[in-house]
Chains A and B, each alone.
Chain A
Amino acid sequence: MAIAEAQNEVITTADGVPLKISLKKALWQRKKTALLLVAPLFFFVLITFLIPIFDMLLRSVDNSIVAEQFPTVVVEIRNWELNSTELPDEATFQALFKDFKAGAIEKTISRLGRRLNYELSGMSSLFRKTARKIKKVETPESATETMIALDKKWGKLETWRLIKRESGKYTSSYYLSAVDAKKTSDGSISMKDEDRQIYLGLFWRTIKLSTAITLLTIILGYPIAYLMATVKTKTSNLLIILVLLPFWTSLLVRTSAWIALLQKEGVINDILVAIGVLSDDGRLAMIHNETGTIIAMTHILLPFMVLPLFSVMKTIPPSYVRAARSMGATPFTAFRRVYLPNTIAGIGAGGILVFILAIGYYITPALVGGTKGTLISNFIAHHISSSLNWGLAAALGAILLALVLILYILYDKIVGISNMRLG
């Protein structure tokens, strides 16, 4: 190694290079190695995680379909005011006719109808009906009259205000829908009709059920984790296998088993009726409702609570409780004042893990939850795979993501994220 000489101004290494620069050079090598080690995972995460999330956030505000299908209309409609009490001018109707006919021949126009139907019901059928008829119509003298003749909804201000409002490249309407709000025809924001509100209730239910599941996993998982942490390794290995068993059965097999056990004519009800706890008409409804979701998800998520708890408890020396007891604490006081506070990190880690998994779970609730036990994720899945309203799915997903982040920040503030131990 170079020898640093103390000089008047700059300390240099033996070859006369200032020490700081030499040090930086030496450290750069190390940094480079570190970067190279991180790079593969970084790119993996970037491609499979960050970019999709960014894409999702983009989709939740993307509104380009309107401009794609109505290229002329969105230009013409700029001259028309949202609060106008008259229909747009003939030029706009001409543009509508032109764009619509082109879209009808291309068979792409009904997609725009579906898009606008998210904002105003009836749009989809308006577009479909018009598309079927418009193909046979030649370019008319008065597009206004022709369009209104095709469907009188084209003569309604409501329709035009919607098109005007949604003519931009970006829209907030998916987010509004995701919180059961809508823009009214004059552009202000209000809640949807009572019988069309879904998502706020679902978010609330999701949070409520996830909290219940998290609490249940703590109540059920804590004693078993304690047992595992205190018995002989051989016994605790066996217990770990039992705890992990749910992971080793396929989700569908497990869920079918729950259905066989919990349904009205299921094993548990049969036993309760047989031993006389229940009457035959008083069989419990334990599946296709919230109870089913809670039971099945608690079962599935229990390992995620037990394992962090176990790993934390494993590190708590038995001498802590012994010390407390020797100092005069009753077993309960020793547990409450000494053991429990030392397992907070595990409870926190397990709790946050279970909660985050629970609010994103959808297969199990879909199978055993009925309608009262479905969660927000079921609707995200529904909008992704069956209604294909990806914008709304993205907005719901983004809100869920925000919820998780808020939770994470709260946890960091209260417990401190550095205290989280997963194993």
Chain B
Amino acid sequence: MPGDTPLVQFVNIQKSYDGEILVVKDLNLDVAEGEFLTMLGPSGSGKTTCLLMLAGFEPATYGEIYLKGKAINKVPPHKRGIGMVFQNYALFPHMTVSENLAFPLEVRNIDKSERETRVKRALDMVQLGTFGDRRPAQLSGGQQQRVAVARSLVFDPDLVLMDEPLGALDKNLREQMQYEIKHIHENLGLTVVYVTHDQSEALTMSNRIAVFDDGIIQQCAPPQVLYEEPDNAFCANFIGENNRFLGKVIEDYGDTVKVEIDNNAGTIIAKKVKVEGVGVRCTLSLRPERVTVNPEPGALPNIFSGVAEELIYLGDHIRTRFTVCGHDDFIVKIPNSADHAHLKQGDTVNIGWTAEDCRALDPSD
């Protein structure tokens, strides 16, 4: 999918609003043509600011943004040719749906018949062919969302920016819209830069996810890499659920390390990802679904005895809270398979995991 030159390049971008705090610190990011890139992060992490700089609504304090290889810092928003979908859709309430869609074509002086054809095509694309004469206020949230997407695409922009576009929808609708947007992206071969704070949304839709925190991209990688192999403790925590142990490296085996958990609660063999040398402190990160209950003795390098403190039945899995190695917030997802372990509150059982699944990361916090 990626072309030769990236469609968008952020080079050494810095941004400050008040001259005291940098909300974006030295951002470098490329977006390839046809890519669906998501900027993910908690609020205040700088992701929306990056989007606004790209759209041209905020000037970069330092650095240069390139679009198709051309510096665009001095290009006003209306000349950038970038489509945008806003969190509250920003449909013009005084225009009908068709007028909203025709607006970008009108300001480009496209003649009337051409305009009508393209508006109709765009409405059909989002399955709202008969809603052209309605006002935005007469549409449901999902319909408005579709109109907003259609409007951002109707003038065939090179790039579409979406700023938390699904934030106002309820859960079911949100998931349905995620697929619709994904399909439109795939069918039209669009380049999309998408901003969200919802990690499952990011995982569902993106080719690549840039995780923002504190004005810095913590990791930029495809979803499965980000989930399976987080680079640092922030990414591990932010994406998906995660059990954490804090400890100190006591032995280094090259690919793996042996870590002693604080308070002498035991030692764990973990994959060496972002720790260097014996004696340094580190965070161990372990996904709840990678824990095995009642493993064969000796089959796994890490086996501990744990007490089941709480069981929550969630249908496809049973979420169980254990006390293990002195931590009483150790979560295990037991899949609801035919032969899964049947536990009761207060049972003491063995639980274990592989060294690969337990990643030794930087000692954040």
Contact B83 A327 (CB under 8 A): yes
Is the pair B78, A319 in contact by a Cβ cutoff of 8 Å? no
Residue numbers in A under 8 Å from B88 (CB-CB):
317, 319
Consensus secondary structure, chain B interface: loop
A331-B86 Cα distance, complex, nearest whole Å: 18
The A interface, classified by DSSP as helix, strand, loop or mixed, is helix
Pick from A322, A324, A330, A344: contact of B103, CB below 8 A. A324
**A293-340, CB < 8 A from B:** 317, 319-320, 322-331, 333-334, 337-338
Q: Judging by beta carbons under 8 Å apart, are A326 and B77 in contact?
A: yes
Given A322-B55, A327-B104 in contact, is the A338-B155 Cβ separation under 8 Å? no
Closest to A324 in B: B103
Q: Quick one: which of B84, B87, B94, B103 contacts A342, CB cutoff 8 A?
A: B94
Q: Does A341 contact B (CB under 8 A)?
A: yes
Considering the chains assembled together, what is the distance between the CA atoms of A330 and B161 in angstroms? 19
Contact A337:B86 (CB < 8 A) given known A322-B57, A328-B81, A342-B93: no
A contact residues around B84 at 8 Å (CB): 322-323, 326-327
Are B82 and A326 touching (Cβ within 8 A)?
yes
List of A residues within 8 angstroms of B155 by Cβ: 327-328
Interface string of B94-137 (1 = CB under 8 A from A): 10000000011001100000000000000000000000000000
Contact B94 A327, beta carbon cutoff 8 Å: no
Whether A329 lies near B78 (C-beta < 8 A) is: yes
B84 shortest CB reach to chain A, Å: 4
Check if A327 sits within 8 Å of B107, measured CB to CB: yes
Does B321 make an interface contact (CB < 8 A)? no
When the two chains form their complex, are residues A319 and B82 in contact, meaning their CB atoms are under 8 A apart? no
Beta-carbon contact of A328 and B78 below 8 Å: yes
A319 to B104, CA, bound (A): 15
Contact assessment for A322 and B90 in the assembled complex, using a CB-CB cutoff below 8 Å: yes
Q: Is the CB of A338 within 8 A of B92?
A: yes
Contact A326 B103 (CB under 8 A): no
Any A CB within 8 A of the CB of B287: no
Give the interface residue-count category, chain B.
20 to 34
Q: Known contacts A333-B107, A337-B103; is A326 also within 8 Å of B92 by CB?
A: no
Partner of B90, one of A319, A328, A330, A341: A319
- Answer whether residue B151 sits at the interface, using C-beta atoms and an 8 A cutoff: yes
Q: In the assembly, what is the distance between CA of A344 and CA of B92, in Å?
A: 13
| Cα(A189)–Cα(B103), bound, Å | 58
- Complex Cα distance A338/B93, Å? 9
Query: What are the residues of chain A within 8 A of B78 when measuring CB–CB?
Result: 325-331, 334
Complex contacts, A334 vs chain B, CB 8 Å: 78
Pick the most buried of A323, A325, A337: most chain B CB atoms within 10 A of its CB: A323
- Cα-based distance from A323 to B55 in the complex (angstroms): 10
Q: Chain B residues with Cβ under 8 A from A322's Cβ?
A: 55, 57, 77, 84, 86, 90
| Smallest CB separation, B109 vs chain A (Å) | 10
- Assembled-state Cα–Cα distance A95/B86 (Å): 87
**CB <8 Å contact, A328 and B104:** yes
| Chain A contacts for B161, CB-based, 8 A | 326
How far is the CB of B293 from the nearest CB of chain A, in Å?
Answer: 49
Given contacts A328-B155, A329-B78, contact A323 B90 (CB under 8 A): yes
Q: Of B77, B83, B90, B104, which contacts A317 at CB under 8 A?
A: B90
When chains A and B are docked, how far (Å) is the Cα of A322 from the Cα of B82?
11
Quote the shortest CB–CB distance from B242 to chain A (angstroms). Answer: 35
**Which residues of chain B have C-beta atoms less than 8 A from A328's C-beta?**
78-79, 81, 104, 107-108, 155
Closest A residue by C-beta to B154:
A327
Tell me, in angstroms, the Cα distance from A323 to B57 when the chains sit together. 10
Given A319-B88, A333-B107, A326-B94 contact (CB < 8 Å): no
Q: How far is the CA of A37 from the CA of B93 in the complex (A)?
A: 35
- Provide the residues of chain B in CB contact with A324, threshold 8 Å: 92, 103, 107
* Chain A residues positioned under 8 Å from B151 (CB to CB): 323, 327
Binding site for A on B (CB under 8 A): 55-57, 76-84, 86-88, 90, 92-94, 103-104, 107-108, 151-152, 155, 161
**A contact set with B: CB distance below 8 Å:** 317, 319-320, 322-331, 333-334, 337-338, 341-342, 344
List 10 contacting pairs A-B, 8 Å CB cutoff, sorted by A. A319-B86, A324-B107, A325-B78, A327-B107, A329-B78, A329-B107, A331-B78, A334-B78, A341-B94, A344-B94
Additional 9 contacts, C-beta under 8 A, given A320-B92, A327-B107, A331-B76: A319-B87, A323-B84, A324-B103, A326-B55, A326-B80, A327-B103, A328-B155, A329-B107, A341-B94
